[in-house]
Structure 1
């Protein structure tokens, strides 16, 4: 019998690629959408083989029906909440409660395993000035001084592991902690986290801040989820799914080298930290990144490589193929040669 996988958030960037990979391997796939009106956009990208369930991470309704007959769950979605709100609970509560809602429904249904997408910043030193390399044994210490998004990912993951500590049943849990997710897009309607590359290509950044990213290709991240879903030894484990550490100026250089005229607007100068901090006073989108300026702490994926045989492709390849995809889909205007 064909196994069924429920993917939460099929309209999302990572969720969409997860559906593509699962269908390619012969699984029956069902995905959750908040409203029936969202189904068409998924069908246009994925075809008619995808099943749907109406379920909202902010509500209890629909989750038991969504889990009926499901063998595995990839909990990729996370409610964004109000990222402009001053109250951090606007992000923390939806992420934590949504994750618990999914896990409780999965355990009631007796699914084999839930693989939840967390974030590498849930396994990072509290100090943003820390150097060195960390692994999955480290848990981020929650602090009001941390950005609300980082706190939301940490507290949501802790909540599901705390739930499993008191659970005595057949369902298993695994979490995957990615870095900065780039790579090709599936549709022009959902660019996801590739907006950073989009902004660089369109010249919407005056320069590159001194920020380092651990770039992981969305296709590699999905592969890690699928391996974690079925490998017996992955049960009850956390897996970092970060990629190569690169500074944003190195991303800009890779785009310039590979794309030529198509990358004419990509900024080449690195912005001094004080300029970024000054700009953040009036630009809310910059406030969350100022704490990361100059940070060099990295994560190791040795566990995923050893246990699951996983390996991320080079960062330059990922960002270049991301840019080429954005151009091909018309998200970034093509430059006439």
Structure 2
């Protein structure tokens, strides 16, 4: 396919792997890029020197384009940007912050900038900030989520009507059927997160991957709304959060309950009860651990099969 997304990134398929914390290291990013999609390193769980190491290893593992996901609220953001520029990274996806702050800096270095949004309002602000494209991420998505709680089915056409720049859909997309639906709503590419967690190349712990495979409908819920809303898989930690929220706990109390390193404990170290397990609603549709290249192919083949089926109606 040749469209604005494939042209913008220089990739074969408009399929982007999300830059998820504790899952998106160089092995996953390079595998997706080598398969024709766009692999993304998740800098949100990396110290600056670790990010540099993953960039260098990704460059050694693929000669295809790849990018870095950069949460703008990260405390070492200036060091991350410095490393990204020094290592010659050409694509950056920013999130969790104001795109006006760093977009000019990144663009001045010749970097293609994409910002993740949860509303048409923020999509328009991103366009005004000069980003090259936006990812519109619906309420179904895993991890940190928008307070608007707008579903992908509503969000994508709303953003498409609001902006003229290229649009990537995210949230609840794990196969070709969902990709075709996103394109019908106005997207020109898709960003896939949860499905790539269940791959051998993802750096997340095997116990977490196996928990994803066991997830059923309703097993993920949005929580920690007094801090930053995040979609979590049900476990003992989630139950403690739910009890605290029902009791009217303050933001300070919720922060104390969350503590430090809980996401690492759950997703990277495999502590399934006391860890924070971030995954999307679409985990209910994921039934096996599959190599990343096969995931790209399955999504692309499913997308074309769905297009053919719809054309015959």
Name the TM tier (shorter chain). 0.3 to 0.5
Question: Which of structures 1 and 2 has the bigger CA Rg?
Answer: 1
TM (normalized to structure 1)? 0.31
TM (norm. structure 2) is: 0.33
